[in-house]
Amino acid sequence: MSKEKIYIFDTTLRDGAQTEGVNFSIDDKKKIANALANLGVDYLEGGWPGANTLDTNFFNNAPDLKKTKLTAFGMTKKTGRSAENDPGLSALLNSKAPAICLVGKSWDFHVDVALGITKKENLENIKESAKLFIKNKKEFMFDAEHFFDGYKKNPEYALTCIKTAFDEGARWIVLCDTNGGTLPNEVGEIVSKVANEIPGKNLGIHAHNDTENAVANSLTAVLAGARQIQGTINGLGERCGNANLISLIPSLVLKKTFSENFEIKINKDRVKTLTECSRLLDEILNRKSNRRAAYVGPSAFAHKGGLHVSAVTKDPKTYEHIDPNMVGNVRNIIVSDQAGKSNIISRLTKYGIKIDKNDPKVQTLLNEVKDREFIGYSYDGADASFELLARRIMGEIPKYITIHMYDVSVKKSASGEIISSAKAQLEVDKKLSICEGEGNGPVNALDNAIRNNIDNLGKYSKYLKDLKLVDYKVRILNTGTNATTRVSIESTDNKGKSWFTIGVSPNIIEASFKALIDSLDYKLYKDNAPANN
Ligand SMILES: [Zn+2]
């Protein structure tokens, strides 16, 4: 028997973007879209073209999403005007998106109170909107807002709403638990009943996490007949979030109940990119990863002390529900130097460094990493800094540019403009030079100081000419007067490689400087630059 297909619909860039404190730039949107296309989701909702310039731009210059269908979000037509003359719908029609997801009301309470129109007018709005997109050959989905609450109060009207869209030819009817208050047993019951009226292969589920059940509700909906799941990376979304695709996808692919009966486009190989995908979003949002996130959290496969560890070392299945590699995560045994050492060795192997575990340098590196992590370093997202630290201890990194002093000051002009100036004294092959630069902030000024004087860096000039800082993030690690600052820098060069470095210090400028110097050193090392004489 061939397996039924489940479709994955990602709305990180639309529903996820509505979260407080989230402001994606166009570049962020492209990065996330590429990661999701690479993962292999079926639909990617890019935003609401016409509602704001950012979303309109994103749709006008959408990246190539390969087999993932770009979907535009919007709202059913306004009462009192035809679908053809609704500017909101025109913006969607004119967008390059092949699929359209239109939200509309299915709860009579909302029709009466929020819209203040008659129930009949609402049905008319659904019907005419659906007709317009289907006539224009767009793949049409109807997002039935508040469907579960509506169904509980007035099942007949809620069903009429979705049947209206379905009868016009909607590919998908998405049942939304917009307020997120519905429990799994209710979702199972209601979806089963709806599936008697509209085939399950045309039903989707859009669950919010207000009772911590968005993932459970989505899985239950599939068991009850629905075949499309909407959700976001890491469950990003307003209030308590949306259904978390990062938890849902591995359950669909790796757990028998689902893997034996259903298939999704994301294969086991792609599932291995989930941890990376989850961390990418944290990185973009400058948020600390949720240690305890299911499947992908740094603690998801961490074992500490005693019996658990000794059992896990005999056979990981004793305390792990899956092999962490399957989702791109790693086992983390927090117990002894011995275990720490094997973690270090496996990380070194990644960089092509071969070393015997009894080499005293491994212990030195382990101690150094522990000391640094204690004061706030975190090498999880800073591979380049970790590799440099390891290679420095191995004695493989020569001394490159020597920095004798630097001076950074900030001043506010009479016109209110804030300018940072930086000055640094550098030495290359015994030749001293002073670099000066200005910028809108201290790091920008330091970076400019080096960049403006790139020709004075002697033999290193040619190596550093194409180095660019592409991103810069600051995190304050503890509150109060003893706050420590961690600065992460993403750099790139003409070869298109990018690398991440970090610096930690109680002083933000010192932390920035450390991260900046690691970035320069990494570039010089990778390009085989000669040592300073
Ligand atoms: Zn939603």
Using H for helix, E for strand and C for coil, what is the string for 170-185? CCEEEEEECCCCCCHH
Between the alpha carbon of residue 208 and those of residues 14, 26, 178, 245, the distances in Å are: 14, 26, 6, 12
The CA 210 to ligand 1 mean position distance, Å, reads: 11
pLDDT digits (tens, 9 = 90+) for 455-471: 888 899 999 999 988 88
Amino acid at 321: H
- Tell me the average pLDDT across 281-287: 90
pLDDT (0 to 100) of residue 307: 63
Q: Is the dihedral of CA 495, 496, 497, 503 positive or negative?
A: positive
Query: Which comes out higher in pLDDT, residue 523 or 298?
Result: 523
The CA 206 to ligand 1 mean position distance, Å, reads: 7
pLDDT digits (tens, 9 = 90+) for 29-61: 999 999 999 999 999 999 999 999 999 999 999
| 292 CB-contact burial (10 Å; exposed 0-12 / middle 13-18 / buried 19+) | exposed
The CA 174 to ligand 1 mean position distance, Å, reads: 11
Residue 82, helix vs strand vs coil:
coil
Q: Contact 406/424 with Cβ under 8 angstroms?
A: yes
The CA 180 to ligand 1 mean position distance, Å, reads: 9
431-439 and 418-428 beta bridge pairing = antiparallel
Distance CA 453, CA 407 (A): 16
The CA 209 to ligand 1 mean position distance, Å, reads: 10
Percent of the chain with pLDDT over 70: 96
pLDDT (0 to 100) of residue 127: 98
The CA 298 to ligand 1 mean position distance, Å, reads: 28
Query: DSSP strand E in 178-261: where?
Result: 203-207, 228-231
pLDDT digits (tens, 9 = 90+) for 232-256: 999 999 999 999 999 999 999 999 9
The CA 408 to ligand 1 mean position distance, Å, reads: 47
The CA 437 to ligand 1 mean position distance, Å, reads: 47
The CA 208 to ligand 1 mean position distance, Å, reads: 6
Under the banding of pLDDT at 50, 70 and 90, the label for residue 533 is confident
Q: Contact 351/390 with Cβ under 8 angstroms?
A: yes
The CA 169 to ligand 1 mean position distance, Å, reads: 23
Q: Contact 63/34 with Cβ under 8 angstroms?
A: yes
Distance CA 364, CA 218 (A): 48
- Tell me the average pLDDT across 193-201: 98
Which tokens go with 422? 């930086």
pLDDT at 309 over 70: no
Residue 237, helix vs strand vs coil:
coil
pLDDT (0 to 100) of residue 335: 44
The CA 102 to ligand 1 mean position distance, Å, reads: 12
Spatial CA neighbour of 55 closest among 83, 19, 18, 21? 18
Which pairs from 453-460 meet CB under 8 Å and 24+ separation?
Answer: 453/426, 456/426, 457/401, 457/426, 457/428, 457/433, 458/428, 458/429, 458/431, 459/428, 459/429, 459/529, 459/530, 460/400, 460/401, 460/428, 460/524, 460/529
Under the banding of pLDDT at 50, 70 and 90, the label for residue 314 is confident
The CA 34 to ligand 1 mean position distance, Å, reads: 22
The CA 234 to ligand 1 mean position distance, Å, reads: 14
pLDDT (0 to 100) of residue 379: 82
| 115 C-beta neighbours (distance < 10 Å), count | 16
pLDDT at 501 over 90: yes
Under the banding of pLDDT at 50, 70 and 90, the label for residue 142 is very high
Under the banding of pLDDT at 50, 70 and 90, the label for residue 113 is confident
Query: Which comes out higher in pLDDT, residue 479 or 392?
Result: 392
The CA 242 to ligand 1 mean position distance, Å, reads: 7
pLDDT digits (tens, 9 = 90+) for 68-89: 999 999 999 999 999 999 999 9
| 182 C-beta neighbours (distance < 10 Å), count | 25
| 117 CB-contact burial (10 Å; exposed 0-12 / middle 13-18 / buried 19+) | middle
Which tokens go with 244? 């978390």
| 510 CB-contact burial (10 Å; exposed 0-12 / middle 13-18 / buried 19+) | middle
Q: Is the dihedral of CA 260, 265, 271, 277 positive or negative?
A: negative
Query: DSSP strand E in 155-253: where?
Result: 172-177, 203-207, 228-231
The CA 94 to ligand 1 mean position distance, Å, reads: 24
Residues 6+ apart with CB under 8 A from 81: none
Distance CA 128, CA 85 (A): 11
Distance CA 305, CA 94 (A): 60
The CA 238 to ligand 1 mean position distance, Å, reads: 8
pLDDT at 529 over 70: yes
The CA 19 to ligand 1 mean position distance, Å, reads: 10
pLDDT digits (tens, 9 = 90+) for 328-382: 998 876 544 555 777 788 788 888 888 888 899 998 998 888 888 878 888 877 8
The CA 103 to ligand 1 mean position distance, Å, reads: 10
How is 291-352 classified by DSSP, letter by letter? TT-TTTSTTTTEEESHHHHHHHHH-GGGT-SS-GGGGT---EEES-HHHHHHHHHHHHHHTT
The CA 230 to ligand 1 mean position distance, Å, reads: 9
Distance CA 517, CA 521 (A): 6
pLDDT digits (tens, 9 = 90+) for 381-425: 788 999 999 999 999 999 999 888 999 999 998 888 899 999 999
The CA 502 to ligand 1 mean position distance, Å, reads: 36
The CA 353 to ligand 1 mean position distance, Å, reads: 47
Least trusted range by pLDDT, from 11-25, 171-185, 344-358, 408-422: 344-358
Query: DSSP strand E in 150-233: where?
Result: 172-177, 203-207, 228-231
Of the ranges 115-119, 186-190, 352-356, the best mean pLDDT one: 186-190
The CA 127 to ligand 1 mean position distance, Å, reads: 22
3-state DSSP percent of the chain in helix, strand and coil, to 5:
45, 20, 35
The CA 178 to ligand 1 mean position distance, Å, reads: 6
pLDDT at 213 over 90: yes
The CA 57 to ligand 1 mean position distance, Å, reads: 22
Distance CA 176, CA 230 (A): 9
Helix (H) or strand (E) holding 143: strand 139-145
- Tell me the average pLDDT across 96-118: 93
The CA 39 to ligand 1 mean position distance, Å, reads: 22
Spatial CA neighbour of 409 closest among 453, 442, 448, 452? 442
The CA 16 to ligand 1 mean position distance, Å, reads: 8
The CA 505 to ligand 1 mean position distance, Å, reads: 41
Q: Contact 123/82 with Cβ under 8 angstroms?
A: no
The CA 121 to ligand 1 mean position distance, Å, reads: 24
The CA 15 to ligand 1 mean position distance, Å, reads: 6
**Entry pTM:** 0.70
